[in-house]
A and B are shown apart, each in its own frame.
Chain A
């Protein structure tokens, strides 16, 4: 157990809908990163939040957006869902978000878009 919790664990949506995924970081961690993992692939970096500000973004369109709250929990929002958005969404937390830190991952949210 890493102390990083994600909700919900599973979600089914239809194309065009919007979805919000949630993540609570490990105690003492102020950085949250989000990753998308398609079936059979390694996770792909979506973005990172540090002290409530976006601090780095991967190659994802603007319909992927996020928030970090004062308690360092975070949300990932995806608008206008597409079939290819079906994936496991992973949240990870760390203390500073620096390259030499370990990341602690949650168990993920499995999103299915029909």
Chain B
């Protein structure tokens, strides 16, 4: 059974700092891994989707990496800004089924201090 874990649970950094969020998964048989952002009480915004054959995806100041063999992904945020404050969730689709049922981690709550 796939389990997804995120460390740390919460992180506070000063503005301008580069930071790394971690995601680990127990079963390396994955189709892809997706990173989401969630603002308080709101829905999820997809940030990056890395296919299982890829090692990295970049979008602006965000860079996500994937190491299937070790069951890990990282989300790197460069030059953090107060507007980056949110909860960041990673998720993988359940493998072998016909659906895109996602299995989520519990998230990392990021606070960027001005």
Say if the beta carbon of A66 comes within 8 Å of chain B: no
Asked, given contacts A99-B32, A100-B31, whether A42 binds B107 with beta carbons under 8 Å apart, the answer is yes
Which chain B residues lie closer than 8 Å to A100 at the CB level? Answer: 31-32, 51, 93, 100
In the bound complex, CA of A108 to CA of B39 (Å): 12
Interface centre among B36, B42, B100, B102 (most CB of A within 10 A): B100
Is A33 touching B43 in the complex (CB atoms < 8 A)?
no
Interface centre among A43, A92, A102, A108 (most CB of B within 10 A): A43
Nearest CB of A to B84, in Å: 19
Say if the beta carbon of A74 comes within 8 Å of chain B: no
Number of interface residues of B (CB under 8 A): 29
Is A99 touching B43 in the complex (CB atoms < 8 A)?
no
Asked, given contacts A42-B4, A42-B106, A100-B51, whether A48 binds B41 with beta carbons under 8 Å apart, the answer is no
Number of interface residues of A (CB under 8 A): 34
Task: Kindly list 10 other residue pairs between chains A and B, CB separation below 8 angstroms, not including A88-B41, A99-B31.
Answer: A33-B101, A40-B106, A42-B89, A42-B105, A43-B104, A48-B101, A99-B97, A100-B32, A104-B46, A105-B45
